Amino acid sequence: MTQRYTITTPIYYVNGAPHLGHAYTSVAADVIARWHRLDGAEVFFLTGTDEHGQKVEQAALSAGVDPQAFVDRVSADFRDLAVAMNVSFDDFIRTTEPRHLRACEALWRRLEAAGQIYLGAYAGWYATRDESFYGEDELVLRADGVRVAPSGAPVEWVTEPSYFFRLSEWQDRLLAHYEAHPDFIGPPGRRNEVLSFVRQGLRDLSISRTSFRWGVPVPGDPDHVIYVWWDALVNYITALGYPDETAELWRFWPADLHLVGKEIIRFHAVFWPAFLMAAGLPPPLRVFANGWWTADGEKMSKSIGNVVDPRALAAEFGVDAVRYFLLREVPFGGDGDFSRRALISRLNVELANDLGNLAQRTLSQVARNCDGRLPHRGPVTEDDAALLAQAELLPERLRALVERQALHEMLEEVWRVIRVSNGYIDRQAPWALKKTDPPRMAAVLRVLADVLRQVATVLLPFMPDSMGRMLDQLGVPEDARRLASLAAPLPAGLPLPPPQGIFPRHVEPAATSGQVPW
Ligand code: ME8
């Protein structure tokens, strides 16, 4: 039976232009989606934009544009980012679409019918920048004596009638769920954070506002709009056809993985499963939080002027180098710091040198000395067998790592094999065998070609374009670019196209002065 796999990114706020942080979560989700496709699963990969709320309304206002025109424009820019980063989403949802209004309305009514929503009055601290409410005890004192949200965002005291969700009733069932499903939240540090938050006790959640208009109207009470986070979370089931549970796509629920940034873990691992359980729907299977990127040690911000534009990087270094860097530089789940210097170093050392040269050396010798045809496997020596065994283990090892979103470890495993291969080619010196033992030379090149095929196949999810080109050069047909095809050897004698370098080294224009901008 074909496995199904459902993965989502957060839907991004359209109050500003997309930056490297947004590209990061989307690229990581893309790698996981592509891995599962490579492994034969039927995948549904969802991303999109979160278009309601006061923050978006204010951004439109200050841009002097009607909110719908504003969100249309910024949403298109996020979509363009996903396409530019080669993110293979199956659907791009926008929360201003009619299908989403329908899903929100249906879920709201279902919760209301279940007695989970009531009308009350809200009085508390609201931070528009975070679109979040904070308790008195959560506020922190800024150096200038002003009390602000834990994120540093300004807060305002808000009193208004509001609908509430009975979150307080769900504490025990949430804790029981975390207990019964130890893998529900990752990485472990985030799981502990969520557990202690829920153990402290949950208050009912205010889920409507009356102070602004840009949102989904509360069914039956249009003076209220639905709290943007409630509306946003529903996107995950809207896209699968909710409320039509006979829809073709509904079989993709529950999601296998919601990938999110660490600052929004609470919404996904506490509120969202509570809404779903209260509606009698199954919660997602796992929520994993990635860490935060800073730029040269500082939080990326427009005012500092250090916002990194992923599309500019992709244009300069190639999209695959940027994808590789993002996932290799930082253990996935931890925080990282972006620097151009680090990106160039990984590109030149690991991509151009370790992997690119290995492929180029192997394939150019096949082209020159084997008549451009894939050689036969010769009698396998101990050295050959050791290398081949490591390469053949890659799919299994990586499969175990992707289950815990250890994307950096996946790359480390592959590079271990690449480094062993570089040692092998130096030791075996096929260029010298050319004169002394041509059949052995051919056998060595065949071992290397087979190892490169394994490597390029398991790296396809990370660098789809460049690894696709490498597989072209290795003569691997399109329909054999799957993990399941790796067991079948390519036929000896297969004519290979002339080899071409895949990762050109990057030389800084400023290199003459020894200056790197940052
Ligand atoms: O929170 N480093 O949207 P958002 C790493 N609309 N990841 C980063 C990042 C950085 N510096 N900056 C952003 C929202 N991200 C809500 C989500 S979901 C139902 C609603 C990534 O536009 C990270 O995944 O603020 C983070 O959670 C997300 O972008 C926040 O995007």
Region 211-222: mean pLDDT is 95
Ligand 1 center to 22 CA (angstroms):
6
Q: Look at residues 48, 518, 21 and name the one whose alpha carbon lies nearest to residue 309.
A: 21
Report the alpha-carbon angle 115-105-119, nearest 5: 40
Distance 348 CA to ligand 1 centre (A): 30
Q: Dump pLDDT digits (tens) for 345-395.
A: 999 999 999 999 999 999 999 999 999 999 999 999 999 999 999 999 999
153 Cβ below 6 A of ligand 1: no
Handedness of CA 265, 270, 271, 277 (dihedral sign): positive
* Ligand 1 contact via 264 beta carbon (within 6 Å): yes
CB distance 333 to ligand 1 below 6 Å? no
CA distance 261 to 25: 7
Query: Which pLDDT band holds residue 132 (cuts at 50, 70, 90)?
Result: confident
260 Cα to the center of ligand 1, angstroms:
7
Neighbours of 134 (CB within 10 A): 20
Average pLDDT, the chain: 95
What is the distance in A from the centroid of ligand 1 to the CA of 91?
A: 18
Q: According to the model, what pLDDT value does residue 510 have?
A: 65
Token pair, residue 74, equals 């910024």
What is the pLDDT at residue 390?
A: 98
Domain 340-487 has CATH 1.10.730.10: yes
**What pLDDT sits at residue 179?**
98
Confidence of residue 291 (pLDDT cuts 50, 70, 90): very high
**21 within ligand 1 shell (Cβ under 6 A):** yes
Of the candidate ranges 203-207, 276-280, 399-403, 509-513, the one whose mean pLDDT is the lowest: 509-513
Give dist(CA 5, CA 41) in Å, integer: 6
Cβ distance 224 to 118 under 8 Å? no
16 in ligand 1 pocket by Cβ < 6 Å? no
Q: Burial level of 438, CB count in 10 A (0-12/13-18/19+)?
A: middle
Task: Give tens-digit pLDDT for 308-346.
Answer: 999 999 999 999 999 999 999 999 999 999 999 999 999
Check pLDDT > 50 for residue 114. yes
- Between 97-106, 439-448, 506-515, the lowest mean confidence (pLDDT) is in 506-515
pLDDT tens for residues 51-66?
Answer: 999 999 999 999 999 9
CB 297 within 8 A of CB 308: no
The pLDDT tens digits of the residues spanning 464-515 come to 999 999 999 999 999 999 999 999 999 999 999 999 999 999 998 765 544 5
Atom of ligand 1 nearest to the CA of 12: 22
Q: Tell me what pLDDT residue 305 has.
A: 79
| CB distance 10 to ligand 1 below 6 Å | yes
- Index of the ligand 1 atom closest to the CA of residue 236: 19
Q: Is 336 in the pocket of ligand 1 (CB under 6 A)?
A: no
Give the contacts of 277 (CB within 8 A, at least 6 positions apart). 170, 173, 177, 283
Judged by DSSP in three states, 451 sits in helix
C-alpha radius of gyration, the chain, whole number: 26
User: Which tokens go with 33?
Assistant: 């989606």
Q: Identify the sign of the CA torsion 413, 417, 418, 422.
A: positive
Helix (H, G, I), strand (E, B) or coil at 302: coil
**Nearest CA residue ID for atom 7, ligand 1:** 21
**Does any ligand 1 atom lie closer than 6 A to the CB of residue 56?**
no
What is the three-class DSSP state of 219? Answer: coil
Sorting pLDDT into bands at 50, 70 and 90, what band is 304?
A: confident
Residue 138 has pLDDT above 60, yes or no: yes
Judge whether residue 2 has pLDDT over 90: no
pLDDT at 106: 98
Determine the pLDDT at residue 516.
47
Q: What is the pTM of this model?
A: 0.95
Tokens coding 473: 């050069």
pLDDT number for residue 70: 97
Backbone phi, psi, residue 117, to 5°: -125, 135
| Residue 85, phi then psi, degrees to nearest 5 | -90, 10
- Which candidate, 331, 291, 351, 352, places its Cα nearest to that of 20? 291
Domain 4-291 falls in which CATH fold?
A: Rossmann fold (3.40.50)
Share of the chain above pLDDT 70, in %: 98
- Domain residue limits, the chain: 4-291, 340-487
| C-alpha torsion sign, points 18, 21, 26, 27 | positive
pLDDT-based confidence at residue 517 (cuts at 50, 70, 90): very low
Confidence of residue 131 (pLDDT cuts 50, 70, 90): confident
Q: Which of 47-56, 90-99, 291-300 has the least mean pLDDT?
A: 291-300
Q: Is the pLDDT of residue 518 over 60?
A: no
**302 pLDDT above the threshold of 80:** no
CA of 117 to the centre of ligand 1 (A): 28
Distance of CA 157 to the CA centre of its chain: 36
pLDDT at 366: 98
pLDDT, residue 1, reads 65
Q: Give residue 317 CA to ligand 1 midpoint distance, Å.
A: 24
Q: Which residue pairs, CB below 8 angstroms and at least 24 apart, start in 187-190? A: 187/288, 187/289, 187/333, 187/405, 189/333, 190/262, 190/265, 190/269, 190/289, 190/333
Q: Is the CB of 178 under 6 A from ligand 1?
A: no
Cα–Cα distance measured from residue 184 to residue 483, given in angstroms and rounded to the nearest whole number: 27
Q: Which two tokens stand for residue 456?
A: 């390029």
Distance CA 217, CA 101 (A): 9
pLDDT computed for residue 437 by the predictor: 98
Model confidence at 208: pLDDT above 90: yes
Is any ligand 1 atom within 6 A of the Cβ of residue 394?
A: no
